[in-house]
Each structure stands twice: as C-alpha cells, then as structure tokens.
Amino acid sequence: MTLFLGLLFGAIGTVYLVYGKRIHDAMFLVVGFALIIYPYLFSNIVLILIVGVVLAAIPVARHKGLI
C-alpha cells in the first residue's frame, strides 16, 4: 500500500514540479519536490496519506484564496 501511495503522490508531485517550472512559481516547485521525496521518509500508511493530502491541497487552497 505504501508503494501505491508513493507512486500516486509522486505522480502528483511530478505534475506540480513541471507546472511550477513552466510558470516559474516556487510554491509549485517546492510542493512538487516535497511530494516526490516524502514517501521515502515515512513507512506509516496513515502518515503518508495525511501528509500527501495536505501537501497536494496547498496549491489548490492558494488558488482559491484560502492561504
């Protein structure tokens, strides 16, 4: 399960990283890099899921003006 979550959040991170590079936005670059790297640091499924959802929601929340 951790492998699947790592692949899922890594794919989301790759999209954020490429998008941030294209529009020159550091927030997308940092969040994308964090989403790619963090699954390797944790082995707890719940922790990977919570951190991944929070990190993936940061750009969406910023776009909607919540941050």
pLDDT, tens digit (0-9, with 9 covering 90-100), for 5-33: 999 999 999 999 999 999 999 999 999 99
The number of folded domains in the chain is 1
Rg of the chain taking only CA atoms, in angstroms? 12
pLDDT tens figures, 41-57: 988 999 999 999 999 99
* Structural domain boundaries, residue 23: 2-63
Please give the model's pTM, rounded to 2 decimal places.
0.88
Q: Exposed/middle/buried for 9, CB within 10 Å: 0-12, 13-18, 19+?
A: buried
